[in-house]
A and B are shown apart, each in its own frame.
Chain A
Amino acid sequence: MSEPALKTPFAERASVALKDAFLQEALTIATTKFIGLQKESFAGFPQGDALRDRARAIKEATLQKLDHYLEMLADNVEKQGGHVHWATTGDEARDTILKLCRDRGVKMAVKSKSMATEEIELNDALERAGVRPVETDLGEYIIQLAHEKPSHIIAPAIHKTKGQVADLFSRELKERFAADPEVLTAAARKELRQKFFQADMGITGANFAIADTGTIVLVTNEGNGRMVTSLPRIHVAVMGIEKVIPSMTDLMVFLAILARSATGQKLSVYTTLVRGARRPSEVDGPGEFHLILMDNGRSPQIAGELREALYCLRCGACLNVCPVYRQIGGHAYGYTYQGPLGILLTAMLNGNRSVKDLAHASSLCGACQEVCPVRIDIPRMLIALRRRLDRERIAPLTERLVFKTMRRVLASPALFRLSVALGRVAQRAFVRDGRLGSLPLFFGKWTKTRDLPPLAARTFSERWKDLA
């Protein structure tokens, strides 16, 4: 499904973020901290590099036989009494859950953090259908109470101060709370504990799904993933088709690098391996288990330019190191998936038009690729996207003209020399203090926020001739 068109353009959203002093500080603190933790954790882990290569190879190998592994996963889930649903679109995934809710009289659903359900805007749909969705990850809970969207994949509420959270909780829970993370966490624990017991349905995503054993793997620090999968009478897991991996042995490779990349932990506190519903001999766990396998725009990329983006583990490491994310934060991106890899997923799920501006929200510095636990070549795909925007005439006419001209000029030595000579003359009117501070026409967009060095009196190749 495609998200509704955004009201404000990207440049405007970004400039709002840049003027938000608290956001700027929060982003710097959070991303710097995450970078430090990631670095430290890999520094003391010499086998990390080899494991990242192996993890990357497993993702690639799985994609090469994706239909086979999905079938194996479905077979094994069904063998254990689970139900498998095949959702080609996000709408189908949502409708499947809504129908389950209707048929089984579900009034309240507790959720553990899941990007797949954010992607299909499940909460709004549940509310419209009279089912109360309750987010239970502390960050997501805060965001839900505030009617906002997550701003970081790992720390959804980093843009909020403890004072804001205290005010929010005081208003929503009708009790005055101090602006102390300890107090606020205790308040959420108490409130949400009741919800876990009251809810009829638990909804999760899946960090991984093991084809060979029919196991859904959830990684959390808070324990909400465990609550959601053990207390309500129905468990529904929604996963993108790319989350399947072949075996338990493969899982261990990913576990060794996932938490290290996300938060610098060796393992997250809870890794929960769920194999279907409660067995008759067990006292807890759901009576029913449903797995929704969702395509939603992914499969065309198996043979497409964005194939590698399907390796993504959703660890958030690329957000933290991205010079653009660090300045504008998650909300400015405007879509579910943020940061460098998020741009690729946005293009995949919402079409190329949705990344008309976002495709340029990257300096192509390569920090994301370097930090990625599965070494996804994000810059390469961002360039491919930009080329596509040009080819499909989604990019503005001026931009396309400028790049077309540039290509002509740079490809011909004679044209290049000529335009440098002309440029030297033309720039005279605009050089101030040895800088090009403001240019006319559409070039003005560029110089509004950047200075350019003027063309040198003699080009490098002219000087080279003298030396040679």
Chain B
Amino acid sequence: MATRAEFLERIGREVRRAPGLFPASAAERPARPGEAAAAVRRQMAERWPEALERFKREFDRVNGIFHRVGRLEEVVGVIRDVAREKDARDLITWAPGELGLDLRPRLGPDGLSVAVAPSDGQGDAGRRYREAAARAQIGVTSADFALAETGTLILISGAGRPGSTSLLPDTHIALFGKERLLDTLEQVGIMLEALHADPAGPTSGSVINFITGPSRTADIELTLTRGVHGPKDVHAIFVEGR
């Protein structure tokens, strides 16, 4: 095995030997990511209704199921209906602090077993959550961004917000408000640059997932089939007010 120094030295030698095919530079990054992100937020505060329409259209195109509710509390009704339709018994959710509400007291009386992601991953709570995740039929999360251009939900992992919540159950439900809407991939780039540049920001998690509809494959005779490994159904609930 080469050491790091040897390896890089060899690459460096080749790089210096090559004139390059043409003058080129990487994409221009925001000089002050925080300010650029704030500018995007200001833009979207005006433009969110159009972005929402576009999101709906694109989300529908990738077989997502869109809902719109006025208040956060109404989310419970939508989840209850989905659970009933899917005959679900076990549900997992992000921590109440990450979701904006606690589903345990609200769905428990319906006979649903609700497991909430703990904010510390290691102990018994983490183990119990992982066991629940392996058998749950529904996973409920927030979306950190909803990207209109492609109908994509973007979820950042971290304490109380496991990636598996949106992966293991057959049905994934994601909630978001208007402040989460983005129009273009370019804006996503700005937001992620800002996230990364801010040491106090929620960059502690190990994974960022872009989710564009239900899991799919066309590997057998190019026949489009849903739910090969990830969820078969993905719901997005837009919450207009508080």
Q: How far is the CA of A39 from the CA of B27 in the complex (A)?
A: 25
B230 near A226 with CB under 8 A, answer yes
Instruction: Please measure, in the bound complex, the distance between the C-alpha atom of A142 and the C-alpha atom of B228, giving whole angstroms.
Output: 13
User: What is the chain B residue whose CB lies nearest that of A256?
Assistant: B185
Known contacts A250-B26, A273-B207: does B10 contact A299 (CB below 8 Å)? yes
Alpha-carbon separation in the docked complex, A186 to B220 (Å): 12
- Interchain CB contact under 8 A, B188 and A252: yes
**CB-CB contacts below 8 Å: A88-103 with B:** 88, 92, 95-96
**Residues in B whose Cβ lies below 8 Å from that of A157:** 219-220
Tell me whether A29 is interfacial, beta carbon within 8 Å.
Answer: yes
Number of interface residues of A (CB under 8 A): 105
B21 touches A252 (CB 8 A): no
Among the stretches A52-60, A118-126, A457-465, the one at the interface with B is A52-60
* Of B7, B121, B231, the contact of A282 (CB 8 Å cutoff): B121
Q: Is the Cβ of A223 less than 8 Å from the Cβ of B229?
A: yes
A61 touches B212 (CB 8 A): no
Contact A281 B204 (CB under 8 A): yes
A165 to B205, CA, bound (A): 39
B155-186: which have CB < 8 Å to A?
157-160, 162-164, 167, 185-186
B8 and A70 contact, CB distance less than 8 A: yes
Across the interface, B219 reaches (CB within 8 A) one of A138, A268, A270, namely A138
Nearest Cβ in chain B — how far from A441, in angstroms?
A: 42
CA distance A247 to B164 in the complex (A): 26
**CA–CA, A88 and B10, complex, Å:** 10
A405 sits at the interface (CB 8 A): no
CA A84 to CA B4, docked complex, whole Å: 9
For residue A436, CB closer than 8 A to chain B, the reply is: no
Q: A161-B221, A185-B225, A282-B159 are in contact. Are A230 and B207 (CB under 8 A)?
A: yes
B41: interface (CB < 8 Å):
no
Report whether B230 and A223 are in contact in the complex, using a CB–CB cutoff of 8 Å: yes
A42-70 interface bits toward B, Cβ cutoff 8 Å, 1 = contact, 0 = none:
00000000000010111011111111001
Does chain B have a CB within 8 A of A131?
A: no
**Cβ-based interface call for A87 (8 A):** yes
In whole angstroms, how far apart are the Cα atoms of A456 and B102 in the complex?
86
**How far in angstroms is the closest Cβ of chain A from B125?**
8
Option from A138, A189, A222, A279 in Cβ contact (under 8 Å) with B204? A279
A residues in contact with B242, CB < 8 Å: none
Q: What 0/1 readout, one digit per residue, does chain B (45-63) give for beta carbons within 8 Å of chain A?
A: 0000000000000100010
User: Contacts A58-B26, A272-B207, A282-B162; is A67 near B228 (CB within 8 Å)?
Assistant: no
Interface class of chain B by DSSP? loop
Tell me whether A280 and B221 are in contact (CB under 8 A): no
Does A200 reach chain B (CB closer than 8 Å)? no
Mask of B110-138 contacts with A, CB within 8 angstroms, 1/0 = 00000001111110001001100110000
Tell me, yes or no, whether B200 is within 8 Å of chain A by CB.
no
What per-residue 1/0 map shows which CB atoms of B144-155 lie under 8 Å from chain A?
A: 000001111000
Q: Is A307 an interface residue (CB 8 A)?
A: yes
Question: In the assembled complex, which residues on chain A have CB atoms less than 8 Å from the CB atom of B220?
Answer: 138, 142, 157, 160, 162, 165, 181, 184-185
Interface centre among B14, B15, B21, B231 (most CB of A within 10 A): B14
Known: A256-B185, A267-B150. A221 touches B22 (CB 8 A): no
Q: A213-B196, A283-B121 are in contact. Are A302 and B164 (CB under 8 A)?
A: no
Known contacts A62-B26, A283-B126, A308-B21, A300 near B14 by CB under 8 Å: yes
A85 to B1, Cβ gap below 8 A?
A: yes
> Which of B159, B210, B214, B229 neighbours the largest number of chain A CB atoms within 10 Å of its CB?
B229
List A contacts of B130 (CB < 8 A). Answer: 283-284
Chain B interface residue bracket vs A: 35 or more
Most buried by A among B24, B162, B211: B24
Chain B residue nearest in CB terms to A161: B221
CA distance in complex: A299, B4 (Å)? 15
- Once bound together, how far apart are the Cα atoms of A18 and B42, in whole Å? 60
Q: Is the CB of B164 within 8 A of A60?
A: no
CA A66 to CA B157, docked complex, whole Å: 30
B227 within 8 A of A: yes
8 Å CB interface, A145-174 against B: 155-158, 160-162, 165
- How near does chain A come to B104, taking the closest CB pair, in angstroms? 17
> Given A158-B222, A222-B216, A295-B7, A247–B193 Cβ distance below 8 Å?
yes
Q: Which of A57, A266, A283, A284 touches B150 (beta carbons < 8 Å)?
A: A266
Interface string of A246-281 (1 = CB under 8 A from B): 111111110110000001011111111111111111
The residue that A247 contacts in the complex, of B27, B119, B214, with Cβ under 8 A, is B27
Cβ < 8 Å to B, chain A residues 278-325: 278-285, 293, 295, 299-300, 302-303, 307-308
Contacts of A466 in B (CB 8 A): none
> Complex Cα distance A278/B211, Å?
20
Q: Are A162 and B120 in contact (CB under 8 A)?
A: no
* Min distance, Cβ B18 to any Cβ of chain A, angstroms: 4
A282→B158 contact, CB < 8 A = yes
How far is B27's CA from A247's CA once the two chains are assembled, in angstroms? 8
**Residue contact B26 to A155, C-beta cutoff 8 Å:** no
Question: In the complex, what residues of B have CB within 8 A of residue A197's CB?
Answer: 134
A388 interface hit (Cβ, 8 Å):
no
Cα(A193)–Cα(B135), bound, Å: 11
Distance in Å: Cβ of B156 to nearest Cβ of chain A: 9
Given contacts A158-B222, A221-B216, A303-B14, whether A192 and B1 have CB atoms under 8 Å apart is no
* Known contacts A86-B7, A157-B220, A248 near B192 by CB under 8 Å: yes
Q: List 17 A-B contacts (CB under 8 A).
A: A33-B222, A56-B24, A70-B8, A71-B8, A80-B206, A87-B2, A88-B1, A142-B220, A182-B223, A223-B215, A265-B62, A269-B230, A271-B209, A273-B210, A275-B208, A281-B120, A283-B117
Interface contacts beyond A247-B26, A299-B14: sample of 5 additional A-B pairs, CB < 8 Å, sorted by A? A57-B25, A142-B219, A184-B220, A265-B212, A281-B158
